[in-house]
Copies of this chain bind each other. A is one copy, B any other.
Amino acid sequence: MGLIGGSLAWGVKRRELAREVVGVDRDPASLRYAIETGMIDGSAGLEAAVRGADLVVLAVPVGAVAALADELVPWLAPEAVVTDVGSVKLRVVERVGSVIPRFVGGHPMAGGERSGAAAAVPDLFDGTQCFLTPTARTDPKALEVVERLWNGLGATVVRMDAAKHDEVVAAVSHLPHLAAFALVNAVAAADPAGAALAFAAGGFRDMTRIAASSPEMWRDICLMNRDPLLGMLSRYADAVGRLRELVGRGDGQGLLDEFTRAQSARRGLRGGSG
């Protein structure tokens, strides 16, 4: 019943995509809140919730998916479909897919720096993209069920190989988050009293908003997506080092070339100016 699980449950209820939505959470306050707001029809313990389910959505930090899947295997109905929402896929689909053939790896591109049930909204996924990463052994019917779920929530489904997915998100999601964490730490270290940060304007705020994200979630992502992320961090360290060298030797033309290249790539983004 966090941001993703709560929003998903709420969207399913609102759009009547399931007969009954049962929430599971270790935190009783989140469950009460979810019931009061109408995100879910009711709550249950993990075993009871899994035993009655046609579809089980594991909306937990990506580092916890595999252990949770192991735990619920004995209680799964034969036809039950299982999916997750974590932002790293290769290790998850290899591991969970080997014990649950009707498992489909999923990753909705939505969320941001807020977290918890209180941040959930029923239309979080409307107009977003959701990756599904089936493998050779994924049951096609299970894939269809999960695809229908996300389409029903208003998301566009993108099927992608899990390894490719992890490289894509290392570049466009994981690296930017780490760059923002590093930026805040570098500025805070140079400015221990916060005298400079008091003057932080829009650019700094925009760039570092994602540094307010959950540290635990990002630790898990870094550990699970180590190799693609290392590759991107090396490229990024090179790009930062190149700018430092150009600034150091006052190379105006070199700086202009770097900035022009970035401007042109940024403007090429769909909706890039917005």
Task: Name A residues whose Cβ lies closer than 8 Å to a Cβ of B.
Answer: 109-110, 112, 128-129, 158, 167-169, 171-173, 175-191, 194-216, 218-219, 222-223, 226, 229-244, 246-248, 250, 252, 255-256, 258-263, 265-274
Q: How far is the CA of A73 from the CA of B104 in the complex (A)?
A: 72
Are A184 and B256 CB-contacts (below 8 A) given A172-B201, A203-B112, A203-B210? no
Known: A167-B196, A175-B187, A187-B175. A215 touches B259 (CB 8 A): yes
Q: Which chain B positions have C-beta within 8 A of A176?
A: 183, 203-204, 207-208
Q: Chain A's interface: helix, strand, loop or mixed, by majority?
A: helix
Contact assessment for B236 and A186 in the assembled complex, using a CB-CB cutoff below 8 Å: yes
Q: Judging by beta carbons under 8 Å apart, are B265 and A185 in contact? A: yes
Q: List 7 A-B contacts (CB under 8 A).
A: A176-B208, A181-B258, A182-B243, A186-B236, A187-B265, A189-B235, A211-B266
Interface pair A201/B239, CB less than 8 Å apart:
no
Q: How far is the CB of A102 from chain B (nearest CB, A)?
A: 26
